[in-house]
Amino acid sequence: QVQLVESGGGSVQAGGSLRLSCAASRFTYSRYCMRWLRQAPGKEREGVAAINSYGSTYYTDSVKGRFTISQDNAVNTLFLQMNSLKPEDTAMYYCAARANTGCPTETEWYTDWGQGTQVTVSS
């Protein structure tokens, strides 16, 4: 079974940057989509960014131009570079994977999940 472990969260002031990592083990998918999602207190989990095995990337409108998703297949790690952070970016961030190159935003399509890493942005 695929295991995903996120790291890199923390507390920063508005305008700051963080880089999240998601290390994947037992990852046997040759075709896949990996997504970053976040959930703020009292809100539904939302997709933030995704990348598939073709290298195609997708971003939700609120993070376009500020966040960059990337992957290093040599070490089976997914990244999310977050710049110009805003207080509204505060949330628990999760990475998730599915064995398909489609990258839907709905959470139910993803079969593998990490435990999450907290990001807190203060004003």
Looking at every residue in the chain, the average pLDDT score rounds to 96
Q: Tens of pLDDT along 33-92? A: 999 999 999 999 999 999 999 999 999 999 999 999 999 998 899 999 999 999 999 999
Q: Mean pLDDT, to the nearest integer, of 94-113?
A: 95
Q: Give the tokens for residue 29.
A: 């998918």
Report the pLDDT value the prediction gives residue 79, as an integer from 0 to 100: 98
Report the pLDDT value the prediction gives residue 112, as an integer from 0 to 100: 97
